[in-house]
Amino acid sequence: MSILTLKDVFFSYGKTPAIQNLSLAVEAGEWVTIVGPNGSGKSTLTKLIIGLLAAKSGEIRVNDLTLSESTVQKIREKIGIIFQNPDNQFVGVTVKDDIAFGLENLSVPYPEMIERIDTYAKAVGMDEYLEKEPSQLSGGQKQRVAIAGTLAMHPDIIIFDEATSMLDPEGRHAMMAIMEDLKRQGKTILSITHDLREALRCDRVVVMHEGTILKSGEPSVILRDEALLKQARLTLLEPFKYMNELSSQKRLTDQWEAILWESALTL
Ligand SMILES: Nc1ncnc2c1ncn2[C@@H]1O[C@H](COP(=O)(O)OP(=O)(O)OP(=O)(O)O)[C@@H](O)[C@H]1O
Ligand SMILES: [Mg+2]
């Protein structure tokens, strides 16, 4: 069953449409990666899903709830979002308060709150910063705290809007491991990225262009489609370049394909 459904969604900030004719159904437990050039509407799409912006036409559904003024609060409880820019996401005086804030709103009992803060601060490697002020953290550290705060609320759907763009390689790997773990737990994930390495392990890649979906499909298909990626201003990962080259020379064996896929996963 679809946990998230968008039907013919249209939105514009001014005259030019930012989202047009967009339809998408995401299954419960599915991990969808959204890619697309700057300005193609990815962040706008996420804001529409959580009701920060209201679609001019079309319909957005989460489970059996249609997004509207009366359902937006309920829908937001099911969705966690980590925004592109971590600066505007803090409400607490300390890192700990900040993570606690969302949990207080959900009326999580105190002992469980402490446990969740501890678990998720550790998961993102920020457990030693719990007493610090968020303003004293680096961009990547802020992003980690924002991630911990969102995960601690145990949402069914988690949206990562370029959440790894500020992370160092180690942080990025840790983040990918967290996403894989969330997938195993049955969470639904929407991750937005310009880094195709982050799309290798998902279930489906959606390519956006000029406010709509250009194409969507399995990573093994989309990540090899050079012309399509070019349109989304993305470059083919090296192993797929070799794969396509071997394929055009009719030398691509199953074994080569497996080796090159493996090597992409280590990037
Ligand atoms: N607050 C705003 N006011 C007016 N126009 C906006 C606003 N936010 C975004 N836009 C416009 O809407 C379009 C889609 O922007 P959006 O931020 O959704 O793109 P994006 O795909 O997330 O890009 P990026 O990869 O740079 O994050 C762009 O043309 C952008 O200029
Ligand atoms: Mg964006």
Domain holding 142: CATH number? 3.40.50.300
Domain total in the chain: 1
* pLDDT of res. 201: 93
* pLDDT of res. 90: 77
Residue 224 lies in a domain: yes
CA gap 90, 112 in Å, rounded = 21
Q: Are strands 157-161 and 188-192 parallel, antiparallel or unpaired?
A: parallel
- Maximum C-alpha span of the chain: 63
Residue 178 lies in a domain: yes
Residue 255 lies in a domain: no
Whether the model clears a pTM of 0.85, i.e. scores above it, the answer is yes
Residue 10 lies in a domain: yes
* pLDDT of res. 163: 87
Nearest CA to ligand 1 atom 31: 39
**39 CA closest ligand 1 atom index:** 19
Residue 27 lies in a domain: yes
Residues in the chain with pLDDT values less than 50: none
Residue 181 lies in a domain: yes
Residue 241 lies in a domain: no
**Which residues does 64 contact at the CB level (< 8 Å), separation at least 6?**
none
The H-or-E segment that residue 207 falls in is strand 204-209
Range of the domain at 89: 2-236
Active site residue 162: yes
* pLDDT of res. 64: 92
Choosing from 162, 210, 226, 238, the catalytic residue is: 162
Residue 175 lies in a domain: yes
CA gap 130, 210 in Å, rounded = 41
Tokens representing 160 are 């990562």
